Amino acid sequence: MSVETIKVGEGEDDMRLDRWFRVHFPEVGYTYLQKLLRSGQIRIDSKRAQANDRVRSGSEVRVPAIVRQPKKAAPGLQAPPGVSKGDRDLIEKMIIFEDEHVLVLNKVFGLAVQGGTGTKKHIDGMLEGMADRFGGERPRLVHRLDRDTTGVLLVAKSRDIAAKLGRTFQTRSAAKTYWALVKGVPKPPQGKIEAALVKASGPDGDKVRKARPGEQDVAMHATTHYSVIDRAARKASWVSLKPVTGRQHQLRAHMHLIGHPIVGDNKYEGDVDMPAENMDKKLHLHARRLVIPHPRGGTIDVTAPLPEHMQRTWDLLGFDAQKFE
């Protein structure tokens, strides 16, 4: 099979391989990328690679030439041309900021951001089917949120803008603030969690856990700052979470590690012994605010209102989100 070798540019240093791949091959879906990685067809400096590997400036990424022919990819890896009126309306309702270059959505609960095994409906595919609405070019995700996490999701309207915003995320110049309801009251009320994480697949799907001695080669450094905003006696706390890094399930795993899992989290013991009756058994984690330099100058500063299930909980516990608008 013919292959292509691409040298990593200086501006792409320390970029995750899956994000680097989206910049260079936006037409190739994440599921197909995973298939290529598992079969060893993608390599970094001749070594087998994983999606979360970091590319380095000057490294050579080997890819099979077939990725240049997306039309030959297996069925289901690409979104169909166009989406239903209902899906278009849903995207329109989620838009909380838009200009010529970027789009910011307030992602709803339970909607996947990207496709995967058994996932046919997702934001990435819906946006691709609406290319006509956004200037004709395929909109590109700049970052991701878990299926059940709600809130601010940044989308670029062009490949160039996506690449620039991606590099900004890599340099940690994006300030992300999440709101969550956690079990109990963390002590001290403000703190920093530094715990490297490793993937740990199980019967309930992908999870992460704290790295153990000897796992340094596969561990992902992760840092989270937290602050208690308000509390309901000793049963639950409204916390502000600010991730320094952006690892899979980072906030969920970190809060579980310090003994205060996020309420409703069915992967990290947050859905048992709910703090109050009549509380929605849904993940109470919301990407509240994003502040990031705009690639064309100025700053993107967007705040997303709470989803309905969290607003009901806030009302139930007597929390006032308007105090922090």
Write down the domain spans for the chain.
3-72, 85-169, 175-324
Neighbours of 82 (CB within 10 A): 13
* pTM assigned to the model: 0.74
Q: How far apart are the first and last CA of the chain?
A: 56
pLDDT at 76: 39
Question: Which of 57-71, 174-188, 261-275 has the lowest average pLDDT?
Answer: 57-71
Q: Is the pLDDT of residue 94 over 50?
A: yes
CATH placement of domain 85-169: 3.30.2350.10
Mark whether 14 is an active-site residue: no
Please, which pLDDT band fits residue 165 given cuts at 50, 70 and 90? very high
Q: Which long-range contacts (CB under 8 A, 24 or more apart) does 2-6 make?
A: 2/64, 2/65, 3/62, 3/63, 3/64, 3/65, 4/62, 4/63, 4/64, 4/65, 4/68, 5/60, 5/61, 5/62, 5/63, 6/60, 6/61, 6/63
The pLDDT of residue 79 is above 90 = no
Name the least confident of 14-18, 21-25, 102-106, 158-162. 21-25
Exactly one of 146, 271, 280, 315 is catalytic; name it. 146
Count Cβ atoms within 10 A of the Cβ of residue 20 and give its class: 0-12 exposed, 13-18 middle, 19 or more buried.
buried
How high is the pLDDT of residue 325?
A: 60
Class of domain 3-72: alpha beta
Mean pLDDT of 297-304: 95
Burial 261-298 (b: 16+ CB within 10 A, else e): bbbbbebbebbeebbeeebbebbbbbbbbbebebbeee
- Residue of 151, 247, 150, 169 lying closest to 207 (CA atoms): 247
- Two domains, one topology: 3-72 and 175-324: no
Residues whose CB falls within 8 Å of the CB of residue 226, separated by 6 or more in sequence, listed in order? 186, 190, 191, 192, 193, 239, 240, 241, 242, 254, 255
Q: How confident is the model at residue 280 (pLDDT cuts 50, 70, 90)?
A: very high
- The string of pLDDT tens digits covering residues 121-139 is 899 999 988 888 887 788 9
What mean pLDDT is predicted for residues 188-204? 87
Q: What is the mean pLDDT of residues 196-216?
A: 82
> For residues 160 and 73, which has the higher predicted lDDT (pLDDT)?
160
Mean pLDDT of 172-184: 95
For domain 175-324, give the CATH number.
Answer: 3.30.2350.10
pLDDT at position 187 is 96
